[in-house]
Structure 1
Amino acid sequence: MMSANLLEGKVVAAAVLEDVARRVVALKEKGIQPGLGTILVGEDGPSISYVNKKHETCKEVDIASFHIEIPATATQADLLTAVRDFNDSPHVDAYIIQYPLPKGFDFNQALMLMDPDKDADGLHPVNLGRLVLQEPGPVPCTPAGIRAMLKHYDIPVEGREVVVIGRGPTLGRPLSLLLTLKQPFANAAVTVVHSGIRDLGAYTRRADIVIAAAGSPGIVQPDMIRPGAVVISGGISWEGRKLLPDVDESVADVAGWITPRLGGVGPTTVAMLLQNTVLAAEQRARQAGKL
């Protein structure tokens, strides 16, 4: 029986945040204080926890943080006002609209109103287009974190077969684009499948790397994995306060590398959010002639 090596996201995040902190110091020496904004609509428990974690991490690396809280009883117009406020703020280099939104709110409309250069999540159509064209810009945070994880643990990606389970706009779709780019720790043959596919195992069993991004608990089982393969659980669900990953924990008996149930992709996502914020602050410094 195989016991897989762990892909510890906390280790990867620490290395990224160390670099971010150095860059923040350099910016502050030039008179630029990086700032991250968050917009939270409603009182979804996991969303509140995610936002709090982002602000805590900002403190660790000396990034200023700003927060707008909108009640679920508010209107779409209130959300759009918050977006305009952050677009106009000289203190906010980048910001996010915490997803998902309560019923009655249109996330895409708010996203389209966002200044693409302040898009900390890298989800604005302009930035997804930059990703397709391999132009500089913020990369969606969870895909960027997964690539950083593969790089940190020196896992071969180029020329390998990768199967991504899930096609969502925040993870599955941008990740498949990212890993096919002709770049280091990419340049892979990527197949995108989803929960509507009749036999997922027919695809995943041939893969060198399987990345689950479906938000479907336990969708990846041991008999779907080739012995020694790399397995990353990016999708999660919640049952009350309990986090349920896409990858069943017993997959560790087959895989060569696997993310832990806690402390896998999550910490790297937050680290990449702050890295995108620093990138935006550096762009502001260049425009001001300070870099």
Structure 2
Amino acid sequence: MSSKLIDGKKISAEIKNNLKISIDKIKNNFPRTPHLVVVLVGNNPASISYVKAKEKACQLVGIKCHVERLSEEVLESDIIRYIEKLNQDDQVDGMIVQLPLPQNLDEEKIIQTISSLKDVDGLNNENLGLLASGQPRFVPATPLGVQTMINQLDFVTEGSKIVIIGRSKLVGIPLALLLSSKTPKGNATVTICHSKSKDIGSHTLSADIIIVATGFPHTLKKDMVKKNSIVIDVGVNRIEDKSKKNGFRLIGDSDFDEIIDIVSKITPVPGGVGPMTIAMLLENVTKAFYINNAKKL
């Protein structure tokens, strides 16, 4: 069973080790280290957990990380004003707004306020446009992490059939652009399925790789997967489990226990895509440092 698992923790650890070496060199030649600001609004337990993981990872590689904690009642105008201030701060290399935001806030408006040169989540329209045009600056961390995992398998994407279930701006759309791009790591034939797609199984059954990113458990079932295919499960869902100390356990969007016997490789949840997302965010922050300080280095 373990031979079928794609170990995101192991791959991300190697990436972080390499980043630490790069950042140590920056420290020796520059008066400051790369600097990330995370805007956290409200008390969503999952968001708080994700932000803590990002803080810990930043500390590990030597990136300065400041978390700006704002109440759920914060005014949208105050968030925008704060982001605009960070846009002008040459001591800040990258920033992210932890999603989701409370429903009373315009998520899209807030994200688009972030300078495209500091948008290390890659969600700004300019950065998505650069990705679509084949000239990526910052690629959203999860798609970049998924692509890296596929490359680690020595899987040749060129000419392969990849089905992505989910069309979010955060994962599905940018991932489709990456994997179909005219690059050695792309050139795949990519199909995007979504909530309005009919008979998704008719697409997935012919796929070499299935990437599921819907945010709903049991989206990908055993009868939707062909033998020896690869499954990348992006989903993270909390389900009640009284046997656990915290009262819940994490599962993905696929029926992992049933699918693992069929596939050649699959990502576990947790321990698969999650660690890769954080590692790619750190890469983006480091890249932002070099972009924003090119004239000083």
Q: TM-score, normalised by structure 1?
A: 0.95
8 Å Cα contact 1:259-1:265 kept in structure 2: yes
Which whole-Å deviations, capped at 9, do the CAs of 1:137-184 have from their partners, x for residues lacking one? 111100000011011121221110000000000000110011001112
The alpha carbon displacement at 1:243 in A equals 2.2
SS at match of 1:65: strand
- The CA distance in 2 between the partners of 1:82 and 1:47, in whole Å, is 20
CA distance in 1, matches of 2:68, 2:7: 32
Would the aligned equivalents of 1:47 and 1:98 in 2 still touch at CA under 8 Å?
Answer: yes
| In structure 2, C-alpha distance between the alignment counterparts of 1:221 and 1:235, rounded to whole Å | 14
Structure 1: which amino acid aligns with 2:253? D
Other-structure match for 1:196:
196
Match of 2:249 in 1: 242
Partner residue in 2 for 1:62: 62
Greater relative CO, 1 or 2 (CA 8 Å, sep 6+): 1
SS in structure 2 opposite 1:253? coil
Name the structure 2 match of 1:142.
142
Q: Does 1:17 align with 2:24?
A: no
Q: Structure 2 CA distance, aligned partners of 1:5 and 1:192?
A: 25
Shift of 1:209: 0.3
Range moving further from structure 2, 7-16 or 50-59 = 7-16
**1:87-135 deviations in whole A, cap 9, x for unaligned?**
1222210010001001101111111111100011011101001111121
Report deviation, 1:136.
4.0
Report what 2:97 is aligned to. Answer: 97
* 2: CA distance, partners of 1:148 / 1:256: 18
**Aligned residues of 1:235 and 1:245 also touching (Cα < 8 A):** yes
Partner of 2:244: none
What runs of 5+ residues in structure 1 fail to find an aligned partner?
Answer: none
Secondary structure of the residue that 1:67 maps to in structure 2?
Answer: strand
**Which moved further from structure 2: 137-146 or 68-77?**
68-77
Task: Note if contact 1:36-1:63 (Cα within 8 Å) is conserved in structure 2.
Answer: yes
Q: Does 1:273 align with 2:281?
A: yes
TM-score (norm 2): 0.93
Aligned to 2:44: 44
The AA in structure 2 aligned to 1:9 is G
Distance in structure 2 (CA, Å) of the matches to 1:228 and 1:186: 21
What root-mean-square deviation, in Å, do the aligned CA atoms of Structure 1 and Structure 2 show?
A: 1.4
CA offsets 1:224-249 (integer angstroms, 9 cap, x no match): 00100000101233336432311111
Distance (Å, rounded) in 2 between the aligned partners of 1:212 and 1:25? 37
Question: Which stretch shows the higher mean deviation, 149-158 or 262-271?
Answer: 149-158
Identity of aligned residues (%): 35
SS of the aligned residue for 1:116 comes to coil
Q: 1:15 to 1:184 in 2, by over 3 A?
A: farther
Tell me how far 1:34 sits from its aligned partner: 0.4
Q: Following superposition of structure 1 onto structure 2, how do residues 117-156 of structure 1 map, counting pairs within 5 Å?
A: 117-156=117-156
Work out the CA distance in 2 between the residues paired with 1:215 and 1:227: 24
Encode CA deviations 1:206-234: one digit per residue, 9 max, x unaligned.
Answer: 00000001111111011100100000101
1:195 positional shift: 2.6
Q: Matched residues in 1 for 2:14 and 2:79: separation?
A: 35
Corresponding residue for residue 263 of structure 1: 271
Contact 1:222 1:253 in 2 (8 A): no
2:290 paired residue number: 282
